[in-house]
Structure 1
């Protein structure tokens, strides 16, 4: 018999770093070409993963990256057990913004485990001159804050599944066991109805 655990995961990062693309690739195994409509508020997606003898259902909140929605993003990361803080490998300023969100989480959500996620790896692989964020700089920062670091591509799918699987595995680990006693998000029978967008116009 499996034990079900629901983990709240929040996606944070500067506008246009590719948070929505990351979730689309993971949940729907697709990469949508063309400009996305910017997320307003947050979009919700549920994804169950089998981890050992448990089913960990990740409740993923894809938040708006625009600074004008910053206060709203704080509402969505409350109570999160994991935060995937994204930055664009071709944009130095996006890594500075990622550091801002890490600081926010450290101050407000001490039990939230942080994952640093570099996006758009495919662009770097096709032209190394486009890289603006050094891998080792981010890894040093990750070590400093106790975070796990991934470089991903939503276009090719590189490391995307590994990222979310790591979140689920960590949630299922001994260090997270105290959280499993809490009441998870009631997802009902909505597992096939993936996206619910809040405050989207």
Structure 2
């Protein structure tokens, strides 16, 4: 049976500097660039094909800005998303508080969007457990409460990064929302153009 391409819109949300861009870099390009990234303005878009059974799904991944001043813009990007990866930094308790804000936003505005909670920088915890500020069991309880999947990842080592996105793709494949889509390349081009327009608009304000 030949492979068929479909698109699944995936959005990354979370506090500034939790490591969303590093997560995408590790998954898409299999690399980790140490040091701080330039802050994302608006959102960055990347398309990534992924094999699920006999199908090839094309994940359209939106890496949104984390700064609170971009909240309204982030809402634009997660509209219609089938999955949201909400990130928090395992060494920053305030980032988990921010995660709860985004979970509530999704529950109120995008009830059909499946939520994946992603704890980042697990390599730092493995090196020094005393710097963990977000308890695993507390996050697991919260994930069960909001019916979310939970992953603890490291973009530096690659721990659980591929597994996270594979789970997103498999869940979409097995969901009632799954459908074979035509005109994929046109859709992806439209997504890219939207991202470019938003970035240009932000830069001029």
TM over 0.5: yes
Q: Which residue of 2 aligns with 1:134?
A: 135
Q: Which residue of 2 aligns with 1:6?
A: 7
Give the superposition deviation at 1:107: 0.3
Post-superposition CA distance 1:45-73 (Å, at most 9, x none): 10000101111110000000000001000
Q: Which residue of 2 aligns with 1:89?
A: 90
Q: Which residue of 1 aligns with 2:58?
A: 57
The alignment partner of 1:118 has SS state of strand
Q: Which residue of 2 aligns with 1:48?
A: 49
Structure 2 matches for 1:117-156, cutoff 5 A?
117-156=118-157
Q: Which residue of 1 aligns with 2:179?
A: 180
Count residues in correspondence.
194
Q: Which residue of 2 aligns with 1:199?
A: 199
Give the superposition deviation at 1:181: 5.9
| TM-score for the superposition, normalised by structure 1 | 0.91
Post-superposition CA distance 1:95-123 (Å, at most 9, x none): 00000000000000011000000000000
Give the superposition deviation at 1:187: 2.6
What are structure 1's unaligned runs of at least 5 residues?
none
The alignment partner of 2:188 has SS state of coil
Q: RMSD between aligned alpha carbons?
A: 1.9
Distance in 2 (CA, whole Å) between partners of 1:8 and 1:121 is: 26
Give the superposition deviation at 1:149: 0.1
